[in-house]
Structure 1
Amino acid sequence: MPRSWGQLARFTAVGGLNTLTFYACYLPLHRLLPYFAAYTAAFLTSTVGSFFLNTFFTYRTRPTWTKFLLFPLTQVTNYTVQSAGLVALVSWLGMNTTVAPLAAAGCAIPFTYLVSRHILLRPAARSGP
């Protein structure tokens, strides 16, 4: 399996774990806060976990302060896609606010993979053998 396919498989596994982390944060916050505030707080919390899982496991690179500080930039695309999806699913399609974040997260996977790969790997490390 080429390196990028292995990375995509690991990214997907990390994404699944990160989604569970997000959801475990979102559900209790949803009881205390409006759904979008709960979503935002859970998203920020899971972003930190995502950084470490993606640097160590997905891309097998060392975390640095520079990467850590740049990583939230990779999540801007993810946050934008998920946020637009969440609002559309809840407001336009009437989806339940407990389930909608999961559906919105699925839409963001390909965008997040490409952007995180670009930030966390040096250009020379992106190409396969």
Structure 2
Amino acid sequence: MIVFAVIGVVNTGTYYGPYLVFLTRFPYLVAHILATAISMTGSFFLNAHFTYRTRPTWRKFLLFPLTNAANFVVTTAGVYVLVDLLHLDSRYAPLLASLAAIPVTFVVSRRIMLPKAETDGIA
């Protein structure tokens, strides 16, 4: 999970840069959606190679957005709560929201990236 978290930090950077750029032209939720879409492919290959040490396949690649869907739901809800309800600055809200998504995304990605036999008995 440590390698997953480190890759998450790298992926957060590849997300956050475009997010800040898009934020200058779009509302924060549109900026969030666009930046999430950009960071997804790199995340797949980094996790396949470093976290799970598995060969990337089309099947895994096509299923991988489910991990991002889990991340997207948690971070989008978090960004909304932090910005609209708690009035946190929209430039910083995604960073805090992404912390809550790490464990959820890890569980989902492990199920996709590793064969069932390798995930049995692992919480």
Residue 36 (structure 2) aligns with: 43
Structure 1-normalised TM-score?
Answer: 0.90
Residues 22-101 of structure 1: pairs in structure 2 closer than 5 A: 22-101=15-94
The runs of at least 4 consecutive aligned structure 1 residues that moved more than 2 Å come to: 125-128
Query: How many residue pairs align between the two structures?
Result: 121
**CA offset at residue 127 of structure 1?**
5.3
If asked which structure has higher relative contact order (CA below 8 Å, sep 6+), I would say 1
C-alpha separation in 1, matches of 2:80 and 2:44: 25
Q: Deviations over 1:14-60 (max 9, x none)?
A: 00000011001111111011111011000111111111110011100
C-alpha RMSD of the superposition: 1.1
Q: Deviations over 1:78-126 (max 9, x none)?
A: 1111000000000000000000010010110000000000100001223
C-alpha separation in 1, matches of 2:74 and 2:5: 17
C-alpha separation in 2, matches of 1:42 and 1:90: 17
SS in structure 1 at match of 2:60: helix
Moved more, 119-128 or 61-70: 119-128
Structure 2-normalised TM-score?
Answer: 0.95
| Equivalent residue in structure 2 for 1:102, among 73, 95, 98 | 95
C-alpha separation in 2, matches of 1:49 and 1:59: 14
Sequence identity (%):
48
Unpaired runs of at least 5, structure 1: 1-7
C-alpha separation in 1, matches of 2:67 and 2:21: 26
